[in-house]
A and B are shown apart, each in its own frame.
Chain A
Amino acid sequence: MRAPRAALICALPLLATVAGAELGGDAKAGEQVFRRCIACHQVGPDARHRTGPQLNDILGAPAASQGDYRYSPAMAKAGAEELIWTAEALNRFLASPRAYMPGTKMGFRGLAAPEDRADVIAYLASFSEGTAAPQAAGFALSPEVLALDGDAEYGAYLAAECTTCHQADGDNDGIPAIINMQQEAFVTAMHAYKQKHRANPAMQLIASRLGDEEIAALAAHFTTLGN
């Protein structure tokens, strides 16, 4: 049994960009792009669910978070697996919804042009409270923490606690692969669990007792594994 790997892995590296929310799009231009969404989605004070859910406060919200809308099982599952609609996640989803999330019922081919995606995300951000919902708001790591040079040998020891579930060769049978990630994405994801910005209780627990040095050590180990 294989879980949709793309959705799981892509969910990881995202939070770093949330606090700043920016792919450098232009909200004004985004209003034009949003016309392609309007057949199914509404934003603004009177927004209601149509074919698709209303999209106020979508930035920083977990996927499938609106209880009164009936999502597809694929979207509900992404939500249960803690996919959060950061700018980066939306960027990938909107590029090709069905490739990013097989089984989604969003009947839209995608926005091929990166500028269009950046613009429409900027437009959606203007309808999102403080750019990001509580889940992700205020979550940012200092450049020093992100750049810490980890002790790879210590990381190899600590990693033994991870490989009970995450396979060292990168296979994914229901728990995502964590090898070959970018250092920054890895460190950000671990701190997001530690600070409870990401929801999985097992990961929150493991991360809660890892200090900055230990997360850096794990990053030093995992980011080189498989290379």
Chain B
Amino acid sequence: MKLDRRMFIGTGAAATASLAAPMLRADGHAKPRVVVIGGGAGGATAARYIAKDSEGAISVTLIEPTRTYYTCFFSNLYLGGFKEIGDLAHSYGGLAASGVNVVHDWAVGVDRDARTVALAGGGSVGYDKLILSPGIDFVEGAVPGWDLSAQNAMPHAYKAGSQTELLRAQLRAMPQGGTFAMVAPPNPYRCPPGPYERVSMVAHYLKANNPTAKILIADPKEGFSKQALFEEGWAAHYSGMIERIGPDFGGGDASVDPVAMTLTIDGDETPVDVCNVIPAMKAGRIAELAGVTDGNWAPVNAADMSSKADPDIHVLGDASQQGDMPKSGFSANSQAKVCANAVRGALTGSRVFPARFSNTCWSLIDINDGVKVGATYEATDEKIAKVDGFVSQTGESAEVRQATYEESEGWYAGITADMFGA
């Protein structure tokens, strides 16, 4: 078991040829080496673009423990019954075929002086440039009564896969007229509209299968992303089902008891049937171990996503603290391409173009009722700064909402092809 934990996939010639490179090169530097930690929206994209665009001139190693990546994006649609779990699953075969060495293991440490990454399975991989895109971990003690050992009783489902399956099973097993509770996270967190799209999808399921059930949200935030659109949709589709308790009424003071299955808001204890606890977040732990975090997140330079603590480390996606971009898969993918261009330029002298970023987040409120919010961003000396944006309007026609939803399906196919290769 221990021996196979560290496995290499990819049998193509390109994969095998570059596979040996990181191990053989001590100081000879035949080929520059890039190591990417985390094969999600940021890391998979960066690895693929560097391998593809450098055409073999750079050896790219991706370290990712799981063999199947389940996207968080569209995982709410899975809860609502619009997708099956297989629709969210992606393998790393396409990356291996683009020439990336995919190493299925955990990175457990970074030695910045020796420029090596230590692996859980033993051994280490040397780098010239290191890219970290480990996503998020949860802040300990953020929701009193909850810690990771309670995640089976009260799932977060904020990393997709078995947690999402568990939450869906619990939703479907709820007694008639029961209560689905959510403890929403404080800012900043991954996918600002995510909890509210989730509430919409849970409501969609309950309306058809358990119409007397209730949804109770404890929310520490005054307002949230696309709030007017969600509230309009909730009133139109799920009238009377959803109650959100904001900070004015103690929504910021929530604790849980995963054994008794209760949620206490501002001293008021309520028995609940399902409790989706989404705690406060921070950068994936390896960022902290690499010493590039300041507080919960890893500050970066906007022009190339390089860490403010180490010019040879870049941090992408949710883990980075970059400025105005929301923590989304779209943002991570956008940042990865800017970073890939800069890293390739630094290692091979290829042309480096000015950074440009964009993001659009679609959310589904009910069947064929899609909304979106988007913006463009540029790199300034201080941060990634928003340039311009748009958001869906309340009162839009059913046709526009349906077209927006269909566009989101197109986006999902597009971004996953862009991350993993077609």
Contact = CB atoms under 8 A, between A and B. Distances in A.
Nearest to B360: A202
Contact of A154 (B353, B409, B411): B353
A64 B403 CA distance: 14
Contacts of B414: 163-167, 173, 175
Interface string A62-103: 001000000001001101110000000000000000000000
A163 B418 contact: yes
A113 interface: no
Contacts of A157: 337, 341, 351, 353
B410 A172 contact: yes
B89 to A, nearest CB: 17
B173 interface: no
Contact of A173 (B53, B402, B409): B409
A190 to B, nearest CB: 15
Interface residues on B, range: 35 or more
Given A174-B410, A175-B407, A202 B418 contact: no
Given A76-B399, A79-B399, A209-B376, A168 B410 contact: no
A161 B388 contact: no
Given A171-B413, A174-B406, A205 B422 contact: no
A80 B401 CA distance: 9
B399 A202 contact: no
A47 interface: no
Contacts of A164: 330, 333-334, 358, 411, 414-415, 418
A105 to B, nearest CB: 15
Contacts of B400: 80
B351 A205 contact: no
A206 interface: yes
A202 B391 CA distance: 9
B402 to A, nearest CB: 7
Nearest to A71: B399
Nearest to A154: B353
Interface string A183-227: 000000000000000000110111011000000000000000000
Contacts of A64: 399
B200 interface: no
Interface residues on A, range: 35 or more
B413 A173 contact: yes
A104 B341 CA distance: 46
Given A79-B399, A161-B356, A202-B360, A171 B417 contact: yes
Interface in B287-335: 330, 333-334
Given A80-B403, A153-B351, A209-B356, A167 B409 contact: no
Nearest to B341: A157
B376 A168 contact: no
A170 to B, nearest CB: 10
Given A174-B408, A175-B410, A202 B390 contact: yes
A204 B356 CA distance: 16
Contacts of B412: 173
B413 A167 contact: yes
B33 interface: no
A134 to B, nearest CB: 19
Contacts of A165: 360, 407, 410-411, 414-415
Interface of B: 49, 53, 330, 333-334, 337, 341, 351, 353, 356, 358, 360, 372, 374-376, 387-390, 397, 399-400, 402-403, 406-415, 417-418, 422
15 contacts: A1-B409, A73-B399, A77-B402, A80-B397, A154-B351, A158-B356, A161-B356, A163-B414, A163-B418, A164-B415, A167-B414, A167-B417, A174-B409, A201-B390, A202-B374
